[in-house]
Each structure stands twice: as structure tokens, then as C-alpha cells.
Amino acid sequence: MVPVGPHPAVADVRKAVREALADVRKGALVLVACSGGADSLALAAALAFVAPRMGLRAGLLTVDHQLQPGSAERARTVADIGAHRLDLSPAEVLTVTVGAEGGPEAAARDARYAALAQAADRLQAEAVLLGHTRDDQAETVLLGLARGSGVRSLSGMAARGGRYRRPLLHIPRATTVKACAALELDPWDDPHNEDPRYTRVRVRRRILPVLEAELGPGVAEALARTAGMAREDADALDQWAESAYQNCALSDIPGPVTLAVPELEKLPDAVRRRVLRRAAIAAGAPSGALSATHVLAVDRLVTSWHGQKAVDLPGGLSAVRRYGTLILAISPIA
């Protein structure tokens, strides 16, 4: 019997894209961020197939980070595949300059997302698809675990965040490789994906294989499943904390934030600390500089009060307790 329909891997990727775009209005432009690797190339091919059948327009963006010799030519090749092989329009190269802040991985990511956001705004795209797979999600969970940064970090990447959508988070990387082979697409293997100087590469090439060998197959799937459950828990706690913040806050005017200590004392630790983090950011603390250590120090003003002095916070803030009120404001607190 002659096989009917696409290869199963191709069908899986197309189904994922179709589900991810189910709520996008007809006629809207959807862009795919494509590096030329198997994951994003399979995603681009799936979008090219699915979009016109859903009444959508589809385009491709590829980012030249200018970090390797020949990067401009490779980016142009990816754009040409999008335009001529997959019939995606527009198909653009976005050239960026990568800084040094936060390390090479973070700097490249920041530059890439900034370029994607600007292009999406300019082209009035309703959604941008990213090619992160289940394997990427597992790596993200392990990295969050190593940092010890809590349940939100363990929740990994969201399937949706603003205009960005990640249709392949439940699909293994092996499926995208098979999809490309079935479609006779030739992915580009980025040498950076083999460079052990990058933490994520060490997790991918060393840590996960050891876990699979010692604990048995399915570790990546289990980690990705854990991310989904952790995200549900974190979302629920964040919603609870937002409601609790409104109950504890004594004023909603810009500037100093004042919270009622008796109300804070009623809250479970996980919720109270979220409220305190929310309060510090509302008072002006930079979220990226506000660590768990800072939040715990403020928390002790509530749970272990013995007349201690004010707690210094990023952004020139202080937190102090006075007469049953917690005050977070720019130092010095009058």
C-alpha cells in the first residue's frame, strides 16, 4: 500500500503549529524566527504549510549575530530558503550587534529578542513563532534547578508570552530532525551548539545524557512535564499574591509603598514573599537586580521583628518597619 499523507514527524509539527495559531484572526501576519537549525527550520516549513490553509499570512525572520565568520552569508541562505523554497513573505535578515552584558549567551539573546520585537512591530505581526522544543525545555529546567531560583524558574519557558509562541515545547528535538529529513531540508548545525564554553551546551551534551544513562530514558520528557506543573503552581501563587498585595497595600499612590504588617503575617511564606517582591518593584527596585536574598531580608522585618534597622534594596531603596507598617521607599526614609 502506498503511504498516504505526510511523514509522521512532519504531521506532528504541523499539528502543533495549527493548534498554536487556532485563535489568530484571519488575514493576520505570523512570523517564524528561524536560525536554520532543525528545530526552527521544521517550524518554518510547518508554518508555510499551515498558514495559508488557516487564512493567515506567513513570514520569516533570521538574525545575524555577527559572531562567526560567514554569518551574513548563512543568514542570507536561511532567508532565501524561506522566500524561495517555503514561499514565506517577508523573509528578512536582521543584523544585530551583540554586547557583553550578562555574558555571551544572555547578550546574544537580548540582542535577538530586541531585533525580533522591532521587526514584528514594523511588520505589524500578530505572532512570532519560536522553535524551542521539549529538549530545550528540559535544559531550561535543569539550569533553573542549578541556580536554585524557585518554582518560577523551574517552570521553564511559557508556550505563550506576549506575541511569542512556542508550538514545539511538547515535541522532542529528534522529531524536528526527522521532519527536515522527510521534507529534504538541510538544517545548519551551529558550531556554538557544540561549544562547551556555553552552560546550556554542557547541560545538553554532558548532563542530560548522564541522567538518561543512569535513570533511564524519558528524563527530558519528565523534566518538561515538571515545567508545565511548576508553571501552573507559579501562576496560581502569583495570582494569589497579587490579590494579597491589594489587601495589604495601604496606599496606591506612586512612590513609597506601605504594607500592613498584620495582613502580611496572615499569609503563607510563598505568597508573602511574592507580595514583598511585588512591593519592592512597585517602589522602584529593578526587578533584575532584586534577588531572593533581598526579599528574605525584607521578610524578616515581618516574621522576625526585633527592632532591626532598615534593609537596603537595589535602586537606592530601603525597607523599614514602623508601628505595624512596612515602608519601602527611596532612601533615606523620612
Report helix, strand or coil for 243.
helix
What is the pLDDT of the chain when averaged over all its residues? 91
Q: Report the predicted TM-score, pTM, of the whole model to 2 decimal places.
A: 0.82
Please choose, from the candidates 178, 179, 177, 167, the residue with its C-alpha nearest in 3D space to the C-alpha of residue 133.
167
More confident residue, 195 or 295: 295
Alpha carbon separation from 152 to 17, 234, 270 (Å, rounded): 26, 6, 11
The cell for 11 is 504531521
pLDDT of residue 98: 86
pLDDT at residue 276 is higher than 70: yes
Distance CA 177, CA 168 (A): 13
Please give the distance of CA 191 from its chain centroid, rounded to a whole number: 23
Strand ranges of the sheet holding 127-129, from the earlier edge strand across to the other edge: 91-95, 57-64, 29-33, 127-129, 164-165, 160-161
With contact defined as beta carbons under 8 Å apart, do 331 and 317 qualify? yes
pLDDT of residue 162: 92
More confident residue, 222 or 103: 222
CA dihedral 94, 160, 82, 224 (to 10 degrees): 110
Distance CA 277, CA 283 (A): 10
pLDDT of residue 2: 54
pLDDT cut 70: percent of the chain above it: 96
β pairing state of 257-260 and 325-330: antiparallel
Distance CA 44, CA 13 (A): 10
Rounded mean pLDDT, 156-160: 92
Range in 59-73, 74-88, 196-210 with the lowest mean pLDDT:
196-210
Which tens digit of pLDDT belongs to each residue from 95-147?
A: 999 887 767 778 888 999 999 999 999 999 999 999 999 999 999 998 888 87
pLDDT at residue 153 is higher than 80: no
